[in-house]
Amino acid sequence: MGAAVAYHLTRRGWGDKTLLIEKEKIGAGSRWHASGLVGAFKPSLAQVKLAQSSIRLLQELEARGRSTGWKQCGSLLLARTRDRMTVYRRMKSQSVSWGIPCELVTPKRCQELWPLLNVDDILGGLWIPGDGVGDPHLFCMALMREAVDNGVGVMEDCAVTSVLSKDGRVCGVETSHGAIECEYFVNCAGFWARQVGQLAKPQVKVPLLPCEHYYLHTKRIDNLDPMTPVVRDPDGYIYLRERDGCLIAGGFEPVAKPVYEEEIKNAAQRCVPEDWDHFHVLLQEFLKRVPSLGQAVLHKLCNGLEAFSPDCKWIVGEAPEMFNYHVAAGMKTVGISAAGGVAEATVDEIVDGYTKYDMYELDINRFLGLHNNKRFLRDRMKEVPGVHYGLPYPFYEFETGRNLRLSPIYPTLRDNGAVFGQVMGYERPTWFEIVDKDKENPQKPRPFKIAHTKTFGKPHWFETVQREYWACRESVGLADYSSFTKIDLQSQGREVVDFLQYLCSNNVDVPVGSIIHTGMQNERGGYENDCSLARISENHYMMIAPTIQQTRCKVWLKRHLPHNGSVTLSDVTSMYTAICVMGPFTRNLLSELTDTDLSPSNFPFFTFKELDVGLANGIRAMNLTHTGELGYVLYIPNEFALHVYNRLMTVGEKYGISHVGYYASRSLRVEKFFAFWGQDLDTMTTPLECGRTWRVKFDKDIPFIGRDALLRQRKEGIRRQYVQLLLTDHDHELDLWSWGGEPIYRDGNYCGQTTTTSYGYTFKKQVCLGFVQNLDKNGDPQPVTHDYVLSGHYEIDIAGIRYDAKVNLHSPNLPTKYPDKERDVYQATRRLHEPQQFLGRVHRYVVGTQEVEGTGKKDIPFIGRDALLRQRKEGIRRQYVQLLLTDHDHELDLWSWGGEPIYRDGNYCGQTTTTSYGYTFKKQVCLGFVQNLDKNGDPQPVTHDYVLSGHYEIDIAGIRYAAKVNLHSPNLPTKYPDKERDVYQATRRLHEPQQFLGRHYQP
Amino acid sequence: QKTGIDSNEVLMQVTVILRKNEYNKEFSSGSVKSYDSNQLASNDPIEDTRSEALCKLTPGILMGVFDGHGGPACAQVISKRLLKYIAAALLPMDSLNKFIKEPEESLVEIINDRVELIEDLKTIYDNSFKQYLLDLAKTPRKESDVNASLEKGILQLDNDLSREVVEPFKNNGVINPKTLSVALSGAVVCVTYIDGPHLYVANVGDCNAVLGTKTEENEWVAKKITKEHNSENYDELKRIWNEHPDSERKTVIRRDRLLGELAPLRSMGDYRYKWSTDVLTKVAVPLIGEKAIPANYHTPPYLTAKPDIYYHRLTPKDKFLIIASDGIWDMLTPLQAVKLVGEHMKGKVFFNPLKLPKKNIQLSDINELLLHRKESLKSKPKDRNAATHLIRNAIGGTEYGVDHSRLAHLLSLSPDVSRMFRDDMTVTIVYFDSEFLRQCPT
């Protein structure tokens, strides 16, 4: 990886400014634990593009006479099940958009391609002739030679010991050979990337954990064609390839063995003793697939540890903790197909500031701190490698590392039948099973259930989601939106408004109480973030962003925050529970729970109000739903969440309130043609391309980021258009469903692909969202006009079958029993550039920008210092004491409860404050103040001697009990002594500074 | 799918409790290949103790299980002292003399020693031991009479327990409450001494040692080596009746107990049944009152620490020896225990990863091997330590395997209730090296 990054830096002319640091020797990794498979087909476009870039690089190097071991022997994918065959059909149909030549083949053809194969249980396969194999070691050395020839410096046997930052930016590294100043740092430490991340100050989190991973090497096998294709049999978790007349066989077992305790320090330690019992699963599959392998002689079984990320995807991009700190790691076992592309993307990001394709799904910003918890990684890692060859069903869910982030209403939702999906560690209900309430003893707590789909056709949850869908459209649905990213942004003066005007393409300077939906564009006009901003007060906004943006959007905001600290950003995601109620009766429902007038004239659509709901207050209510239904999202301080939820459910009963999950709201929004960031929108998509030009305010006083690019695009025309396609001849019961990524054909020619899709329960049709292009003969995109879009005849190819589709450019108005004028005029995706209409005037604020001056040294006298100095000089006139009642019987006598008078030598001298029974002392314990009153009742100075020399009594309801006085915190006897804690006294006499870190306080 | 979290947690807690006192050790030479040991307390503190030691100046290994009663003191002290006493008795005269002159090297290497005696007791015991060595050196005896050595060690230590109380009292009227509590509490003892193919077991009281032997037909046979000294042992009853006048016949054993009080009929310590009435009155009564003297106490001593010594010559068929306190034997028969350990042995090999036997092996052969292993892996025990395996089965065992909820329930009882369901359990399992025994000259 490091070699590839260095190589790509030289291609951009940075060779002589690049230094490669290697802890051991470059390319020293063992030849035994690498398969060298190079395959172009990956689960997503970005990964495919990266792999294709790697293949190109291999070919280029070979062409230049650099040996890389590249051999285009093709690869053959086998299917044992119908679902796997469906996957291949989908891949074949997608291959058009991805430009990967491939061919569906019969079992017979499979055997022709690989004569030794047993195809008895094979249903078919996919033949990819452009794939091949390479030699990671040769590839690495070839890249290194190119890099060194172009000026890259290399330090071997040199360990990085820390990565330093200044002002949040990389400024240098310290190594075992001394310190180096630098501007950029790329963590290409692969297997050790997590540890190297920990060397950074502040620490960079690279969530990776090693697993055992096996490579079986046979001795020479006679008559083995060197051009034998790579065989992948994912249903058996295995692959096989030829190398130097021998076979290398490996795989991804369904239950992996994570390495947790052991610390692997060097390359040699990465090869650990083999566990044949664990490997046996794979061995059996090899023998089944290639029976003649039974006669092959074992050369070596290598158990080389390999690190995986918690979602089995690569980790690329700039770290959220430190600018200019890039990570290119977690390439799993396919480093050779990843390295070239990932390195190129990394270098693009360093040199240009962005990559050629959207890489969100691989971006290190997709993680939170929790993902780097080693115990979480250990838990999750058991199932991660298996995902590599698992069936890629829609809405895949991991079963480990669950129940991590839970909203306060999670237990209630679970007991009401919620089935959960995990997003950013958050358990979000996907749908609700019906809970039989008539049963005598409903099982509580209900077991935690994980959502699954496990089909490419009509899913088993179809009817459930349908019921929830109609609740939202015809009665009231309640959904948990708590996982949404919530950020508070505020400033003293107008700074936050200016800041957001600069970041957002929409106008954020709207009246207090308004909500604006806006994109945050990058320089190229693409979406870095797509969010709602509620103006809470003049200089305070609450930002609601997609769940997956929690790390990412903060980085984007921080990157542009004013340096003087005038704008503060606080992530309040974990402080609020978000409950969305949607449906025609939500206004009636909420009106019953609050005294605030919710009529449209007082609380219009797309506005915000802080409400009292039930008996609770401070609930941030937003009149919008993110799905197009009438309704509200309530952001409830966590401690009120259950209360508000209970009230909503109780009062909602008569409106037929029901719980709804994520799938239902997803279906609503797809049908309504609402785009979501991360699914439809990405960093390469502009508002103009997706019908959101009306949300772009070109004429703001402060030109926003990306304005120029968008102006240019407006002038030149867009080259792709976001559309909604309704499949007209698709039978949702029988046909395979569209799940996203399907190619779109216009008049028989490929023109784009779908992004998100859903069944539309109102349209009663499959609904696909996606982008349509106008490709010329060379495949280059030409400007797309509305006429172009509307004049075509569309088809969508689902696993090889094309379905007719009707195209929509704007959000449709769905027929409804409960029309609501206000809401119906709102179209998320629309054409017109009409200004958004607000109620009330737009205020102009004239607030000067205020520079906060540095406060300098911290010698600031605290409030009250003078009074305390005076008191120290003059002496105190009352003393806080602890009194233990010595002759009090806690069984029979009245207790002290505070406020009892204290007598010293028979004279009143003060009273108790708080009291308790001391279970260790086995006595009543009273705290209180003792005074030294003179004859006139005036307090005189109190000394410790005065306090300690008296005989004390406490009067409880007329009876005086003798008391022993303490001036300092007592050391209570304990079975479990802890020296460090015991020396701590809350109340003490000496003015010695408290001592920490192991040294003990000497009284 | 994920409902089992709670019961899993219980299972883990159970395992943590069971494995708390686990110990195992392997040896690289000699007839003993390894041993597993474990204890599970029912009393708080536990009254059982155990200790193991290698003899340094002679060959052989010593292992003992001590089941205390009337308090933990006696068993604790014995576990610290007895193996040294025996090792000293085993020394040939010249080594003994040399050792007395230059006691720099220790006599035994104690394995897995977890307790430390308090300083003043240590001094007393060191003095007793020195005295004992000198006495040994004076008394002429037959070389290499292991039986005599075992008996000498045990009886001498029992004697010293008394002397350490009585002597200071006679000399200056002082009673040390610590040594007194040791002498008044008691412990039954089962000690084995293994030297090559020679297995000796010395038994005092109701612990038992059982040998696990595998027949040619691959069946497990349990050979109970010891015979416990309790009222079920008619020879013991006869011995006791014969040692006391006929008039005491009804009182000396009542309700199956010695003088109606003590279940084991031989033990170390327990000087309430050994000292004369006079000594008891002077020494014990001031501390614990009149009840110190048992009813019908006419012709002391009623109790002896004299061990029965058994010898067995190990053959390659003898696979292991189980020494355990009656807490285990109350729950398991010798054959059950031997079968459990035998099955465990079979499953235990799978705790170690497979090592391929030869070069140039074909993949199909490896597959065969792994299939076999897989079959056997099903019987892979939960516990690596066979002593833990025995305890787990002793408590939770049912006809259909270990019942974990029953096990969890029994382990969660408080000490006072728990005592009604089970006794302290101590198990040491010694594995023999069959290869070594095969090559031993007969």
Which residue in the set B350, B356, B367 is minimally distant from A284, CB to CB?
B367
Cross-chain Cβ contact B1/A294 below 8 Å: no
Residues of B in contact with A450 (CB under 8 A): 1-2
Q: C-alpha A847: how far from its chain's center? A: 37
Cross-chain Cβ contact A283/B356 below 8 Å: no
Predicted pLDDT at B9: 73
Chain B: closest CA distance from residue A917 (Å): 28
Average pLDDT of A610-638? 93
Average pLDDT of A762-770? 95
Instruction: Find, in chain B, the residue whose alpha carbon is nearest to that of A285.
Output: B367
| Tokens coding A245 | 């007349």
Q: Which SS3 state, helix, strand or coil, does residue A444 take? A: coil
pLDDT band per the 50, 70, 90 thresholds, residue A984: low
- Which of B363, B369, B372 to mutate to test binding with chain A, by most A CBs within 10 Å of its CB? B363
- Say if residue A853's pLDDT is above 50: no
pLDDT band per the 50, 70, 90 thresholds, residue A839: very low
Size of interface A-B (CB pairs under 8 A): 64
Predicted pLDDT at A992: 47
In this structure, chain A runs to a length of 1003
Average pLDDT of A240-268? 90
Query: pLDDT by residue (tens digit) across B257-272?
Result: 999 999 999 999 999 9
B119-138 and B73-90 helices cross at what angle (nearest 10)?
30
Lowest-confidence pick of A273-287, A303-317, A653-667, B377-391:
B377-391
To the nearest whole percent, how much of chain B has pLDDT over 90? 62
Residues of A in contact with B361 (CB under 8 A): 297-298
Cross-chain Cβ contact A294/B356 below 8 Å: no
CA torsion B87-B92-B95-B101 (nearest 10°) is: 80
Cross-chain Cβ contact A277/B373 below 8 Å: yes
Residue keyed to tokens 């304990």: A974
Residues of A in contact with B356 (CB under 8 A): 276, 298
Average pLDDT of A122-144? 94
Residues on A contacting B at a C-beta cutoff of 8 Å: 216, 218-219, 273-277, 280, 283-284, 286-287, 293-298, 399, 402, 447-450
- Say if residue A822's pLDDT is above 70: no
Residue keyed to tokens 């696993």: A799
Residue partners of A6: CB distance under 8 A and separation at least 6: A15, A18, A20, A143, A144, A147, A152
A57 and A38 in contact (C-beta within 8 Å)? Answer: no
pLDDT band per the 50, 70, 90 thresholds, residue A821: low
Lowest-confidence pick of A438-442, B24-28, B286-290, B333-337:
A438-442
- Say if residue B44's pLDDT is above 60: yes
Cross-chain Cβ contact A273/B353 below 8 Å: yes
Residue keyed to tokens 């590392």: A401
Predicted pLDDT at A688: 93
Predicted pLDDT at A914: 95
Cross-chain Cβ contact A277/B354 below 8 Å: yes
Give the residue among A336, A274, A308 at the shortest CA–CA distance from A191. A308
Query: pLDDT by residue (tens digit) across A662-697?
Result: 999 999 999 999 999 989 999 999 999 998 988 999
* Rounded Cα gap, residues B1 and B11, in angstroms: 18
Predicted pLDDT at A831: 58
Average pLDDT of A334-341? 88
Query: pLDDT by residue (tens digit) across B58-101?
Result: 899 999 999 999 889 999 999 999 999 999 999 998 889 888 98
- Which of A280, A295, A443 to mutate to test binding with chain B, by most B CBs within 10 Å of its CB? A280
Which residue in the set A219, A280, A296 is minimally distant from B370, CB to CB?
A280
Cross-chain Cβ contact B1/A275 below 8 Å: no
Which residue in the set A275, A296, A448 is minimally distant from B363, CB to CB?
A296
Cross-chain Cβ contact B362/A450 below 8 Å: no
Cross-chain Cβ contact A448/B2 below 8 Å: yes
Chain B: closest CA distance from residue A441 (Å): 18
Instruction: Find, in chain B, the residue whose alpha carbon is nearest to that of A276.
Output: B354
Cross-chain Cβ contact A448/B354 below 8 Å: no
pLDDT band per the 50, 70, 90 thresholds, residue A846: very low
Residues of A in contact with B371 (CB under 8 A): 280
Query: pLDDT by residue (tens digit) across A736-754?
Result: 999 999 999 999 999 999 9
Average pLDDT of A319-347? 91
pLDDT band per the 50, 70, 90 thresholds, residue B106: confident
Which residue in the set B3, B361, B373 is minimally distant from A298, CB to CB?
B361
**β-strands A19-21, A720-727: how paired?**
unpaired
- DSSP characters for A258-324? B--S----SGGGGB----HHHHHHHHHHHHHH-GGGGGSBEEEEEEB-EEE-TTS--EEEE-TTSBT
- Say if residue A316's pLDDT is above 90: yes
pTM of the model: 0.78
To the nearest whole percent, how much of chain A has pLDDT over 90? 79
Residues of B in contact with A419 (CB under 8 A): none
Alpha helices in A849-918 (DSSP H): 865-874
Chain A: closest CA distance from residue B43 (Å): 20
Cross-chain Cβ contact A283/B377 below 8 Å: no
- Say if residue A857's pLDDT is above 50: no
Instruction: Find, in chain B, the residue whose alpha carbon is nearest to that of A274.
Output: B353
A480 and A429 in contact (C-beta within 8 Å)? Answer: yes
pLDDT band per the 50, 70, 90 thresholds, residue A334: confident
Which residue in the set A294, A399, A448 is minimally distant from B363, CB to CB?
A294
C-alpha distance from residue A444 to each of A413, A414, A439, B3, B357 (Å): 12, 9, 12, 12, 54
Cross-chain Cβ contact B377/A295 below 8 Å: no
* Rounded Cα gap, residues A502 and A494, in angstroms: 13
Q: C-alpha A200: how far from its chain's center? A: 22
Residues of A in contact with B3 (CB under 8 A): 447
Which residue in the set B1, B2, B367 is minimally distant from A287, CB to CB?
B367
Q: C-alpha B331: how far from its chain's center? A: 17
Which residue in the set B350, B362, B366 is minimally distant from A295, CB to CB?
B362
Residues on B contacting A at a C-beta cutoff of 8 Å: 1-3, 350, 353-354, 356, 360-364, 366-367, 370-371, 373-374, 377
Query: pLDDT by residue (tens digit) across B192-211?
Result: 999 999 999 999 999 999 99
Which residue in the set A277, A297, A402 is minimally distant from B362, CB to CB?
A297
To the nearest whole percent, how much of chain A has pLDDT over 70? 93
Cross-chain Cβ contact A293/B363 below 8 Å: yes
pLDDT band per the 50, 70, 90 thresholds, residue A241: very high
Residues of A in contact with B367 (CB under 8 A): 280, 283-284, 287, 294
- DSSP characters for B38-88? EEE-SSSS--EEEEEEEESSSS-EEEEEEEEESSSHHHHHHHHHHHHHHHH
* Rounded Cα gap, residues A192 and A197, in angstroms: 9
pLDDT band per the 50, 70, 90 thresholds, residue A823: low
- Which of A298, A303, A419, A420 to mutate to test binding with chain B, by most B CBs within 10 Å of its CB? A298
Lowest-confidence pick of A283-287, A421-425, A983-987:
A983-987
* Rounded Cα gap, residues A343 and A147, in angstroms: 13
Residues of A in contact with B351 (CB under 8 A): none
Predicted pLDDT at B413: 78
Alpha helices in A717-785 (DSSP H): none
C-alpha distance from residue B377 to each of A213, B7, B358, B381, B399 (Å): 22, 24, 22, 9, 21
Which of the 8 DSSP states describes residue A737? P
Query: pLDDT by residue (tens digit) across B107-133?
Result: 899 998 877 888 889 999 999 999 999
Residues of A in contact with B363 (CB under 8 A): 216, 218, 283, 286-287, 293-298
- Say if residue B4's pLDDT is above 50: no
Cross-chain Cβ contact A283/B370 below 8 Å: yes
Predicted pLDDT at A981: 64
Chain B: closest CA distance from residue A827 (Å): 42
Average pLDDT of A7-25? 94
Chain A: closest CA distance from residue B354 (Å): 6
Cross-chain Cβ contact A298/B356 below 8 Å: yes
Predicted pLDDT at A265: 87
Instruction: Find, in chain B, the residue whose alpha carbon is nearest to that of A283.
Output: B367
Residue partners of B14: CB distance under 8 A and separation at least 6: B404, B407, B408, B411
pLDDT band per the 50, 70, 90 thresholds, residue A44: confident
- Say if residue A983's pLDDT is above 80: no
Query: pLDDT by residue (tens digit) across B355-376?
Result: 887 788 999 999 998 888 888 7
Residues of A in contact with B364 (CB under 8 A): 287, 293-295
Cross-chain Cβ contact B353/A274 below 8 Å: yes
- DSSP characters for B259-273? TTTBSSSS-EE-GGG
Instruction: Find, in chain A, the residue whose alpha carbon is nearest to that of B355.
Output: A276
